[in-house]
């Protein structure tokens, strides 16, 4: 990666950073093509990079992502249940590169927000005028006693799609009929809040057809969750007696795990799982912390209109990593945030006024093949935070053809979102 | 669905410090909230919790409106002899719940 550093310019940047608030409002460094770097090639980062380039072809946009392929989480629960192949979840960055976006296939190791440089492991650096962080989530391997990176090989979280997804699938395929599948769910905030329950549903579908004596136990650090009634009704209808859930106030919070014995411990119980799917607490991807954009919650506070970090100058944070109030951490929200952030950056660089964004989010859940429901929300900034201004949830009582239609819409939604993001 | 959950070690060595955990399902309504029409939602909280070990009180707590719903209490005691631990929760609106567990001390 070619990088130039001019001492004078760097000094100028430092001077500007002292007046960080003023610098944010300035269309700074307009003399050359503004350089925008995006770290993270998921739904948020890829959508943002594409939108930046489309809104202003004069921008130098670099997408920093070490993986050659992206593996999408939405629909990966179907992979776990043996209903879908992982290859259908995978996308490359070829079409994004063809649009004139530079792909830096390396992991960012350091960020100097005052010098506005990104450092890579090989010692090279990249300068930017604006930086967008879209690092997604990292598992907190320090948060649940017994659950570290090695434990995840025995008790997969499968909360980032890829090898972990396949590992959980293989474990479920290998389980004896009658074996207990335990899903441990952390307290909020977590990536894709209804996904643990979609996962329980689809695993139940697999068990019902292949291992009817097996059961699923969901140990949950929450009392209530998104679309709960729809899930509970579906479980009664499709999987009677197969899924038991213990919520927080019934002692469901997992307090420790033992990967050697596959034991999962709560304050009031001790469970030995045949398959233990332990979803640990999460935080923003590590680079956010390195950049100084994450607060002590582990997530990144932002200005809701611009997605500008509240902690570091000239840095924006989008997707699962940011604190976005009422917006759930989902693929469609990340994509919508990426586009809104791109518009804010382009307008700021051009000195144009900013419109408060209006974001659409959609969340589909598939509980069996041909049985889906959804939650669709509209989110707008209110009191310095995103608020849900309108939300539509599927009806509780609906005939099978409505559920079938929603399942088909979910497949269309995935296609639209992935084509929109990756080409 | 049990309203009280307790966790007492089934066995312990004499002199061991043991952890006891309890969770009582309860709304813990503060009495400070108002409905949409402006009337006060009456206070409905647990006001006291006690634990007796073979009849002798070893732990007591008074609760106030700032305690969150579904109070989770954990405390430690010394295993002295085999027997029974009795737990009692008392609160507003005549609320009264009990639970007990046995322990074998060797």
Average pLDDT for A58-81: 97
CA atoms of B106 and B103, how far apart (whole Å): 10
Number of CB atoms found within 10 A of residue A56's CB: 18
| Contact list, B25 vs chain A (CB under 8 Å) | 249-250
Q: Are A267 and B25 inside 8 Å of each other by CB? A: no
| Contact list, B9 vs chain A (CB under 8 Å) | none
Predicted confidence at residue B1, as pLDDT, reads: 43
Q: What is the DSSP string of B24-37?
A: E----B-S--B-TT
B74's tokens: 């954990």
What does pTM read for this prediction? 0.90
Nearest chain B residue to A247 by CA distance is B1
Residue of B2, B5, B99 for testing the chain A interface, max A β-carbons within 10 Å: B5
Pairing verdict, β A215-220 and A180-185: parallel
Predicted confidence at residue A138, as pLDDT, reads: 98
**CA angle (B73, A196, A363) in 5-degree steps:** 125
Predicted confidence at residue A303, as pLDDT, reads: 97
**Residue linked to tokens 């109070």:** B71
Number of CB atoms found within 10 A of residue A7's CB: 7
Q: What is the DSSP string of A318-354?
A: -GGGEE-TT--S-HHHHHHHHHHHHHHHHHHHTT---
> Least CB-CB distance to A268: which of B7, B25, B70?
B7
Hey, which residues does B78 pair with through a beta bridge? Answer: B17
CA atoms of A388 and A229, how far apart (whole Å): 20
**CA angle (A150, A151, A152) in 5-degree steps:** 90
Burial of A240 (C-beta count, 10 Å sphere; 0-12/13-18/19+): exposed
Q: What is the DSSP string of A144-178?
A: STT-STTHHHHS----SSSHHHHHHHHHHHHSPTT
Would you place residue A11 in the very low, low, confident or very high pLDDT band (cuts 50, 70, 90)? very low
| Contact list, B70 vs chain A (CB under 8 Å) | 248-249
Residues B77-101 pLDDT 10s: 999 999 999 999 999 999 999 999 9
Query: Angle at which helices A195-210 and A228-238 pack, to 10 degrees?
Result: 0
Q: Are A250 and B7 inside 8 Å of each other by CB? A: no
Q: Are A249 and B70 inside 8 Å of each other by CB? A: yes
CA atoms of A333 and B20, how far apart (whole Å): 43
Predicted confidence at residue A286, as pLDDT, reads: 97
| Local structure of A257: helix, strand or coil | strand
Domain residue extents for chain A: 7-138+283-356, 144-281
Predicted confidence at residue B2, as pLDDT, reads: 55
| Contact list, B69 vs chain A (CB under 8 Å) | 249
| Contact list, B7 vs chain A (CB under 8 Å) | 267-268
Q: Are A267 and B7 inside 8 Å of each other by CB? A: yes
> What mean pLDDT is reported for chain A?
93
The percentage of chain A sitting over the pLDDT mark of 70, rounded to a whole number, equals 93
Would you place residue A352 in the very low, low, confident or very high pLDDT band (cuts 50, 70, 90)? very high
A17's tokens: 């950073």
CA atoms of A126 and A105, how far apart (whole Å): 13
Nearest chain A residue to B27 by CA distance is A249
CA atoms of A383 and A381, how far apart (whole Å): 7
| Contact list, A267 vs chain B (CB under 8 Å) | 5, 7, 21, 23, 72, 74
Looking at CATH, the fold of the domain delimited by A144-281 is given as FAD/NAD(P)-binding domain (3.50.50)
Nearest chain A residue to B1 by CA distance is A250
Nearest chain B residue to A245 by CA distance is B1
**A99: distance to nearest CA of chain B, Å?**
54
CA atoms of A248 and A184, how far apart (whole Å): 11
Interfacial residues of B (vs A; Cβ cutoff 8 Å): 1-2, 5-7, 21, 23, 25, 69-70, 72, 74
Q: Are A267 and B5 inside 8 Å of each other by CB? A: yes
Q: Which helix (H) or strand (E) holds A23?
A: helix A20-25
Buried b (16+ CB within 10 A) or exposed e, A176-196: eeebbbbbbbbeebbbbbbbb
Burial of A102 (C-beta count, 10 Å sphere; 0-12/13-18/19+): middle
Q: Are A267 and B6 inside 8 Å of each other by CB? A: no
Hey, which residues does A102 pair with through a beta bridge? Answer: A62
Nearest chain A residue to B4 by CA distance is A250
Residues A210-259 pLDDT 10s: 999 999 999 999 999 999 999 999 999 999 999 999 999 999 999 999 99
Residue partners of A151: CB distance under 8 A and separation at least 6: A257, A259, A278
Average pLDDT for A350-373: 95
Would you place residue A32 in the very low, low, confident or very high pLDDT band (cuts 50, 70, 90)? confident
Number of CB atoms found within 10 A of residue A15's CB: 11
Return the closest-CA partner of residue A222 out of A250, A248, A194, A255.
A248
CA atoms of A204 and A215, how far apart (whole Å): 8
CA atoms of B24 and B35, how far apart (whole Å): 25
CA atoms of A200 and A221, how far apart (whole Å): 16
| Local structure of A206: helix, strand or coil | helix
Task: Say which range, A15-24, A31-40, A68-77, A153-162, has the weakest mean pLDDT.
Answer: A15-24
Residue A20 has pLDDT above 90, yes or no: no
> Least CB-CB distance to A268: which of B21, B25, B69?
B21
| Contact list, A251 vs chain B (CB under 8 Å) | 5, 23
Would you place residue A21 in the very low, low, confident or very high pLDDT band (cuts 50, 70, 90)? very low
Please report the residues numbered 389 through 408 in chain A whose beta carbons come closer than 8 angstroms to any beta carbon of chain B.
none
Residue A30 has pLDDT above 90, yes or no: no
A144-281 shares the fold of A7-138+283-356: yes
Looking at CATH, the fold of the domain delimited by A7-138+283-356 is given as FAD/NAD(P)-binding domain (3.50.50)
Nearest chain B residue to A223 by CA distance is B70
Hey, which residues does A100 pair with through a beta bridge? Answer: none
CA atoms of B86 and A394, how far apart (whole Å): 47
Would you place residue A31 in the very low, low, confident or very high pLDDT band (cuts 50, 70, 90)? low
The percentage of chain A sitting over the pLDDT mark of 90, rounded to a whole number, equals 92
Residue A1 has pLDDT above 60, yes or no: no
Nearest chain A residue to B21 by CA distance is A267
Residue of B3, B4, B7, B22 for testing the chain A interface, max A β-carbons within 10 Å: B7
| Local structure of A260: helix, strand or coil | coil
CA atoms of A75 and A118, how far apart (whole Å): 33
CA atoms of A28 and A129, how far apart (whole Å): 8
Q: Walk me through the domains of chain B, giving residue ranges and CATH numbers.
A: 4-105 (2.60.40.10)
Residues A279-320 pLDDT 10s: 999 999 999 999 999 999 999 999 999 999 999 999 999 999
Distances in Å between the Cα of B61 and the Cα atoms of A79, B64, B92 are 50, 10, 15
A148's tokens: 């570290």
Nearest chain B residue to A270 by CA distance is B7
**B75: distance to nearest CA of chain A, Å?**
13
Would you place residue B3 in the very low, low, confident or very high pLDDT band (cuts 50, 70, 90)? confident
| Contact list, A244 vs chain B (CB under 8 Å) | none
3-state helix, strand, coil in chain B (%, to 5): 0, 55, 45
Interface membership of A267 toward B (CB under 8 Å): yes
Residue A370 has pLDDT above 80, yes or no: yes
Interface membership of A255 toward B (CB under 8 Å): no
CB-defined contacts A:B, below 8 A:
22
> Least CB-CB distance to B25: which of A249, A267, A268?
A249
Average pLDDT for A25-41: 76
Q: Are A250 and B72 inside 8 Å of each other by CB? A: no
**B105: distance to nearest CA of chain A, Å?**
20
Residues B7-58 pLDDT 10s: 999 999 999 999 999 999 999 999 999 999 999 999 999 999 999 999 999 9
Q: How far from each other are the two terminal CA atoms of chain B, in whole angstroms?
A: 33
């Amino acid at each position: 990666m070619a990088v130039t550093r001019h001492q004078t310019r760097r000094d100028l940047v430092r001077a500007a950073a002292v007046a960080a608030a003023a610098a944010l409002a300035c269309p700074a460094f307009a003399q050359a093509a503004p350089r925008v770097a995006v770290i993270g090639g998921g739904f948020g980062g890829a959508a943002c990079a594409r939108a930046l380039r489309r809104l202003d072809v004069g921008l130098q946009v670099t997408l920093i992502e070490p993986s050659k392929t992206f593996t999408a989480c939405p629909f990966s629960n179907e992979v776990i249940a043996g209903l879908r192949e992982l290859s259908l979840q995978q996308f490359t960055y070829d079409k994004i590169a063809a649009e004139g976006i530079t792909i830096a296939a390396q992991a960012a190791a350091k960020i100097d927000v005052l010098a506005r440089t990104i450092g890579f492991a090989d010692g090279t650096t990249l300068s930017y005028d604006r930086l967008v962080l879209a690092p997604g989530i990292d598992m907190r391997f320090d948060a649940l006693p017994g659950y570290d990176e090695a434990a995840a090989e025995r008790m997969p979280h499968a909360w980032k799609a890829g090898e972990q997804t396949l590992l959980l699938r293989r474990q479920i395929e290998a389980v004896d009929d009658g074996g207990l599948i335990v899903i441990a769910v952390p307290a909020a905030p977590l990536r894709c809040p209804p996904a643990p329950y979609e996962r329980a549903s689809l695993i139940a579908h697999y068990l019902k057809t292949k291992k009817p004596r097996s059961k699923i136990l969901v140990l949950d650090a929450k009392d209530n969750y998104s679309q709960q009634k729809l899930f509970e009704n579906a479980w009664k209808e499709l999987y009677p007696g197969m899924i038991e859930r213990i919520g927080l106030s019934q002692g469901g919070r997992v307090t420790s795990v033992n990967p050697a014995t596959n034991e999962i411990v709560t304050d009031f119980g001790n469970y030995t799982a045949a398959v233990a799917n332990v979803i640990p607490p999460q935080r923003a991807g590590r680079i956010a912390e390195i950049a100084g954009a994450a607060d002590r919650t582990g997530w990144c506070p932002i200005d809701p209109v611009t997605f500008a970090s509240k902690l570091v100058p000239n840095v924006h944070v989008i997707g699962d990593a940011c604190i976005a109030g009422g917006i759930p951490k989902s693929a469609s929200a990340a994509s919508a945030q990426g586009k809104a952030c791109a518009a804010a950056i382009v307008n700021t660089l051009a000195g144009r006024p900013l419109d408060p964004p209006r974001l659409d989010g959609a969340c589909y859940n598939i509980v069996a093949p041909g049985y889906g429901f959804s939650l669709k929300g509209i989110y707008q900034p209110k009191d310095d935070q995103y608020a849900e201004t309108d939300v539509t949830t599927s009806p509780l009582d609906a005939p099978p053809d409505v559920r079938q239609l929603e399942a088909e819409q979910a497949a269309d939604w995935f296609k639209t979102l992935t084509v929109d993001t990756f080409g | 669905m049990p309203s009280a959950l307790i966790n007492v070690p089934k066995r312990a060595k004499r002199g061991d410090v043991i952890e006891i955990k309890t969770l009582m399902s309860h709304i813990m309504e503060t009495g400070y909230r108002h409905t949409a029409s402006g009337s006060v939602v009456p206070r409905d909280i647990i006001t006291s919790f006690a634990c007796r070990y073979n009849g002798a009180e070893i732990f007591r707590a008074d609760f106030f409106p700032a305690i969150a719903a579904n109070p989770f209490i954990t405390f430690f005691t010394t295993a002295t002899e085999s027997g029974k631990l009795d737990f009692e929760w008392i609160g507003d609106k005549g609320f009264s719940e009990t639970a007990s567990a046995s322990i074998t001390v060797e």
